[in-house]
Every structure is written in structure tokens, then in C-alpha cells.
Chains A and B, each alone.
Chain A
Amino acid sequence: MLLAVLLPFIIAIFIPLLSKWKNEFHTGFVATAVPVVIFIYFVQFLGAGFEPVTQEYSWVPSLDMNLVFHLDGLSLLFVLLISGIGSLVAFYSIYYLHKSEQLGHFYVYFLLFMGSMLGVVLSDNVFVLYTFWEFTSLSSFLLIGFWNYREASRYGALKSMLITVFGGLSLLGGLVFLSVITNTTSIQEMLSQQELILNHEFFPLILGFILLGAFTKSAQFPFHIWLPDAMEAPTPVSAYLHSATMVKAGIFLVARFSPMLSSSEWFFIIVSTVGIATLCWGSYMAVRQTDLKAILAFSTISQLGMIMAMLGFGTEIAIFAAVFHILNHATFKGSLFMVAGIVDHETGTRDIRKLGGLMTFLPITATLAIFGTFSMAGVPLPFLNGFYSKEFFFDASLHLESATSGLAGVLQTLIPYLAVFGSIFTFVYSMYFFFGTFRGQADIKKLPKKPHEAPVGMLISPIVLVAGVIIIGLFPSLINKPFIEHAASAVGGTTITEDIYFWHGIIPPFIMSIAVLVFGTILYLTRTKWQAVYRAVPGKLSLNKFYDGLVDRTENYSVIVTNGYMNGSLGRYVRLILSAILIVTFSVMAFTGGFSMEFNNLSEVTIPESIIAALMIVAAVGASIANKRIAAILILGVVGYGLAMLFVLYRAPDLALTQFIIETVTVALFLLVFRHLPDLEVRKDSVLTNSLNLVLSIGFGLLLTMIAISAHSNKLFNSISSYFVDNSYKLGGGDNIVNVILVDFRGLDTLFEIAVLGIAAMAIYSLIRLGRKKEE
């Protein structure tokens, strides 16, 4: 299985090489072969006696991150969808993408995506799952922005990236919680520790994080807004990623974790509500669209909402229906996207207002579209798979098993009505999609191209998918036992068997289907009369506007905030640094009782040091108020000499020597640069700044004084200086203890201080030299 997951990545490495010969040989043929091979490999697992398979390959064993692949019914369903539809889409893209396009880029992204999607559905290790999850976001971003010279493509790519990565990070949070709580990184082992997780105090967080990840990926309300903008991608990408595979990754995630999470009432409430809301909103909005792909995008949103809602119901029949509908949706939606691509390719427009009457020009495409749209609408015909899953959906919505009181109870009564409401609009936009494009008055002159039937190669993939629609429709039990039931059992955690019949008799689900049919037809025929309702709802309220506003405002406010403190004034930065130090240190010291004053071990104050201290204070104050540079430097020199005198007083002749020299050299250096400096100006700061400066400097001085006093009062250990005194001559061979420490006991420090001086000297030299060269 490792090879199957890695095969797309490996082939992707060679794609750029192959794309050099794209004129002789379309790169897509190689890209088609990969999923075909994978499909053939996985199709062998199919059968009534299927048993889950687990394979493990080491990756980072010390962190318990290994490539563990677990193939159960659910993974098998997804793997076959990914590789099967992947083959068809890759084949379709050979005819859809012209050789003048950047085929190398396209197929690299495409194979990257396929490999990571396979990784997502097969991984048993949560971190490997997350890795592949982010890979799908990344490759989807690249594919949406494939035509990166278009503004709209870049916008759509960025939007989908921001939203799905936001969800992906939240998913990572949930997964980390899970792996910390259960002490394992394997999903299967987590599922077996359900009790522990459900009763853990962090369970709401886990549920929220994981569902947020799933909802953003699967374009659930209100995170659905990225999907319509992702339609800027080439149509094969839309067909593959944004109808059949990537948007189902969130569904997969919910299904994968539902044996663990579904026992919680909140799982039912959140997932069902979001799913139903997405179903209704998506189908309601789809009717409003004028672009074929936009209709399909909102349709995908709504169908995903339906699957999500069924997973939320959590009853056996609902899970079965959800899994069944995953398969059905992938078949008919994939074919419809390809149909939209053909229409676009052959007429030059996707605007449904310009299209119409294409049935005679594109007879095969129109036939394919009929099956696709009618299956999507759930029209009760015995050869359409959409009808079966829709009826299961109605059935499931009527047989909810959860509590009858509180929020869940209210939901339970509402859900069947909402389901019918959403389905009516599904019917309306399905009819609109078909009849708007293929029936009505043909207006050929308005079209950019003269329409004619698509090439055979382009038709093969949708034909295969529609054949799937019909085969599943005619012989539902053919795939039921060997395929769907295993998947449903993997989701439900128990063995689920349902029989798929076309005719159940006159039972409530069938009546609901008929109601959808009747109301849908009425609404479709009177479409023009109630279109005005879209001006009231959503009217001006739009989630896209909210998103745009959010992105724009985030940027604007970030700019304002950054400009607020980063104005280029060093004075302000120093003020900020000092206040931060002041506040933090002062609070820490104050709250931990760090300030203490003891006066029992002080030495006597003598007259000479008081005189020198007074001298230094006067000079320091004088330096800070001097209004001429040279005066300030000279006065500062007095402070330096005072310090040197203190060293003399405290019996540190070496320090005093150094201090005298350094002070003189510093004064001389100041004199050297003086000539190049402007006169010291009286700064025209506001009173506020000045008083702030005063407060800060006084506060800082006070803080350091108090720390020094406290440090002196809190002597915890004896000094180690007696060792140096004792051993300076014995071990170091010198009487001058300071110098022995500098070059013997602690010689390493001296070495690096020499290095510092050397670096400074070289820096000054090079600054001067380079500066001169620039002048020349």
C-alpha cells in the first residue's frame, strides 16, 4: 500500500521531464496511467468477504509517527473513488487542456493532490493524516491558481487556502488533544478508547476542533464560500477536487471519527444542523447562479451538506445512506462538471443566460446531462442512483433515534421539513441546469464559437460516469454487499446491512419524493416570478462580503497597529523597551516579595566617597541638561573620573587605571566625530513625551537601585573570592589577584573580550574604508 500512496509522488518527480516532449506526446497519458494502476490494485480488495488490512512502515518511530495504512470499507470506498475518478479526470484533461498550457505544472499538482488524498483516506496515524491533509490544501491551492495570470484565480486560490488551512490547523489541535489523551497516535486505537475521550473534560474542544477542520474542508455553512471561487480552476480540477474527492475529505474525517464522537448529543446537534443548513442554503443559492460551474459548486455544497447531515443523524440507515450518497454524488457530479466543461469548450461560454437549445448541437452531451441532472434531483426513476440515496435520506430524516426533548428534540421535528425544502430547490436547479442549457431557443449568433459535438476522447469519461449512474441505478445490490455495506459498517462501528429497493410502496419517504417533484416543477416553471426573493434574502448580506471585509480589515488594522508603534523613532523604541522592562520586572519583584531591605551588614560611609558621589551626581545632572555637545562630553568626563576615583577609594587600582584610560579615549573619540555631527538641538518634544521620559528614567533608576539593595540584602551564599585570594599565588603564580583571574582562572572571558575589541576595530576600519570608496 505504501507504493500505491507514493506512486503519484514518485511519478510527479518525472512529470517535468516528460512535459518537455509534450508536443509529441501529451503528458496526461502518463498521469492517467498512475490512477489506473492504483485503481486496479485496490479493486482487488473488493468483495463480500472483505477484511480490513493494516500495514505499517516506519517513519519517525521515536515520536510514534509511522506510516500506518489502514484499509477498511470506508477507506476502500474513498480510495476507489479517488483512483477511479482520478483516472477519468486525467483522461478527460488530455482533451480538455491544450498542449500550449503548462502541462508539466498541471500534472505535477494533480498527482501531488492524488497522492496526498490517498494518504488522507488510508492513514491510520493522526499526524500522517494531518500531513497529507495539508498537502491536499496546498495542491488544491496550486490547482485553483493554475491560470495564475488571472486575478480571479489568484483570489480564489488564496481564499480556499486561508479557509482550509485555518480548518486544518484547528484539526491539528484536535488531533494533538486526542493523541495526548489516549496516549496513542493510531485512529483505530483511539476509537477503542471511546469512553475515555467522551468523559474527558476536553471533549467539547476535541469535538469543536475536529468538526471545524471537517466543515472548512467540506465547504459547510458558513465556510462554503471558498468553493464557488475555486471554480476558477480548470474544469477537470473542479470535477475532481471540488466535487468528488477533496471536499469529501471533511466528510471522510467525520465518518472516520463518528464511531467515537457520535455518542455525544452535541455531535448530533452540530453536525445535523450544519449539514441541513448547508443543504438548504446551498440549494437555495444554486438557483440564483448564472454560471454553469457556479450552479454545480453550490450544488456540491448542498449535497455535501446532505451527506454531513446524514452522518450527524448517526442512525444505521442514515450512515448507510450517507456512504451510498458519497458514491452516487461522485458519479453524477463528476459527469456534470465534465459536461459543463464540454459546453464551455464547445461554445466558449458558461453563462447559462447565453446558452440554450444546445440539444441538437451536442446530442451526446445532452444525453449525459439528462442522466446526471435527473439523478442529482432525485427523480424517481429506477435507473438513477440519486433517487435511492435521496429516498434513504428522507427515510433517515424521519427515523431519528435521539432524544425527544431540548434542542435535539426541536431539531428532530424540523429536519424532515428542511430536508424536503432543500430537495425542492435541488430539483429546481437541476432542471434549470439541464433545460437552461440544452432546451429552449437556440441563439447561436450570441455564442463566441459555433457549437458542435465534443471529441470522442472528451466524452469517454462522462460516459463512463453516467454508465456508473445507470448501473448503480439498475442493479443497486451489485455494489451493495461487496462495497457499500463494508463502508457503512466501518463508519457505524457495527455491521450495517440495508437492502436497496426501488419500490417500497406508498410510504412517507416516497410521498416526500413526490412532493419534491410536484413543488419543484411548480417552482421551476414559475422561476422568473419569484426570482425577486433573492433580493430580499440574502439581499446585501453576503458571507463573501464578510470574508472580504475581514481580510481587508485585518490588513488595514495590522497596518495601523504596526504603524502605531513602529514609527522609526528610536526614542519611542527605547521608551517601549524600558517600560516593558520596568513593568515586568517591577511586577515580578513586587508580587514575589523580591524587594527586601536590610541594613545590618553595611559598611561605614566616609567623607571622601560622599564628596565624590556628590560630585558625580552634580556632573550627571549637569550632563543631562547641558545644551552643547562639547560641554556635555566634558561634564560626562567628570563623571568618568569620579568613577575612577571611586575605584581608587575601593582599592581597585587596575580598574581605576583602565577607567582613566578609557574615559580619556572616549572623550578623544567623541572629539573625533564631533566635526561630523550637527549641533545639539533643543528637542521640541511634547510635554507628554518629556514627562514620560522623566518618569521612565526616574522609574528605571529607582528600579535598579531597589534591585541592587535587594540583591545586597539577600545574600544566600558566601562569596567564592576567598578561593582566589588563597590560590592566586599558589596556583596562578601571581600576586595581582585581578590579573591572575583575568588571564588564568577565567582566561576564556578575556580571550573573547579581546575578540570583541578586534571585531570592533575591524568594523570601524571597514566602515571608514567602505564609506570612502562609496564617495569616490
Chain B
Amino acid sequence: MEQTLEVTRAFVNIAAVISIIGVSISVLLLLYRVLFGPSNPDRILAVDGLGVNVMGLAGILAILLVTNQLNDVILLIGILLFIGTIALAKFIEKGVIIDRDMD
């Protein structure tokens, strides 16, 4: 039993590191898009993608660090990404984020 646990842990760790490397590669590619994306919508999408990757990264890290303290973080990133992307999209489209009352 003890041994099985040990093997599993090693297995999970290796998988986590591989995942981190994978996520990192996608982060770097997205970073390229953020920096050189020809248009602002490109950049916004890239930042959104970055956020999703960060969520993933946080999840993998939680596995690596053997903790459940990061669950809040992951959920929060999800909400914020949504709000942020909506705000950016609205800004691109309308030029304002919060409409003034129609009076």
C-alpha cells in the first residue's frame, strides 16, 4: 500500500511537471500574441487565454504543493477573466465600459 502511494505520488509529480511545461509553452506563445498581436482584439483574446492557462497552472501547482488553499484562486481567476474580457470587449466596441443613464 505504502509503495503504491509512493509510486502514484511520483507519477502525479512527473505528470504535473510535464503539464507545467506544456502550459508554459502555450503561455509563451500567448505572450508573443500579447506583445506583437497586430490588433487589440488579438491581444485581448491572448490575455484571456493567458488567464485560462494561469488557472490551469494554479491547479497544477495546487497538485504539486498538495494543498486545497488555491481553489479559491482558481475560481476567482475564472470570474475575473470573464468580467475583464467582457469589459475589454465592450470598451473596444463602444469606447465606454459603463453606460451613463439614459435621461
A contact set with B: CB distance below 8 Å: 607-608, 611, 615, 618-619, 622, 626, 628, 630-631, 634-635, 637-638, 641, 644-645, 648-649, 651, 653, 656-657, 660-661, 664, 667-668, 671-672, 674-675
Contacts and interface: CB of A to CB of B under 8 A. Distances in A.
A672 B65 CA distance: 38
A638 B33 CA distance: 12
Nearest to A619: B31
A653 B73 contact: yes
A653 B71 CA distance: 9
Given A668-B87, A672-B97, 6 more contacts: A615-B27, A618-B35, A635-B43, A638-B34, A674-B91, A675-B96
B43 A631 contact: yes
B69 A664 contact: no
Contacts of A675: 95-96
Contacts of A661: 76, 80
B70 A653 contact: yes
Contacts of A608: 20, 24, 57, 61, 64
Contacts of A660: 73, 76-77, 80
A618 B20 contact: no
11 contacts: A615-B27, A615-B31, A638-B34, A645-B54, A653-B72, A661-B76, A664-B80, A667-B84, A668-B83, A668-B97, A675-B96
Contact of A619 (B34, B73, B76): B34
Contacts of B80: 660-661, 664
Contacts of B27: 611, 615
Interface in B39-86: 40, 43-44, 47, 50-51, 54, 57-58, 61, 64-65, 67, 69-70, 72-73, 76-77, 80, 83-84
B91 A653 contact: no
Contact of A622 (B35, B72, B77, B83): B35
Contacts of B50: 638, 641
B15 interface: no
A651 B66 CA distance: 11
Contact of A645 (B40, B57, B97): B57
Contacts of B40: 628, 630-631, 634
A641 to B, nearest CB: 6
A631 B27 CA distance: 17
B28 interface: yes
B1 interface: no
Contacts of A622: 34-35
Contact of B73 (A615, A656, A667, A668): A656
A641 B84 CA distance: 13
Give me the 4 closest cross-chain CB pairs, A-B, nearest first: A622-B35, A653-B69, A664-B80, A611-B24
B17 A671 contact: no
B62 to A, nearest CB: 8
A653 B75 CA distance: 12
B98 interface: yes
Contacts of B31: 615, 618-619, 638
A351 to B, nearest CB: 78
A649 B24 CA distance: 14
B91 A645 contact: no
B28 to A, nearest CB: 7
Nearest to A668: B87
A189 B73 CA distance: 78
Central interface residue in A626, A648, A651, by most chain B CB within 10 Å: A648
Contacts of A667: 84, 87-88
Nearest to B36: A622
Contacts of B24: 608, 611
B58 A645 contact: yes
Nearest to A621: B35
A187 to B, nearest CB: 76
Nearest to A736: B69
A634 B61 CA distance: 25
Contact of B87 (A607, A644, A671): A671
A641 B70 contact: no
B46 to A, nearest CB: 8
A635 B35 contact: yes
A598 B15 CA distance: 35
A143 B11 CA distance: 98
Nearest to B37: A631
A672 B95 CA distance: 9
B73 to A, nearest CB: 5
A653 B35 CA distance: 28
A671 B88 contact: yes
Contacts of B96: 675
B17 A607 contact: yes
A300 to B, nearest CB: 79
Contacts of A611: 20, 24, 27
Nearest to B74: A648
Contacts of A657: 72-73, 76
A644 B73 CA distance: 10
Residue from the set A615, A634, A656, A675 with the largest chain B CB neighbour count within 10 Å:
A634
A641 B98 contact: no
A589 B97 CA distance: 48
Contacts of B61: 608, 648-649
Contacts of B87: 667-668, 671
B59 to A, nearest CB: 10
A622 B24 CA distance: 18
A671 B73 contact: no
A641 B51 contact: yes
A638 B84 CA distance: 13
Contacts of B65: 651
Contacts of B83: 664, 668
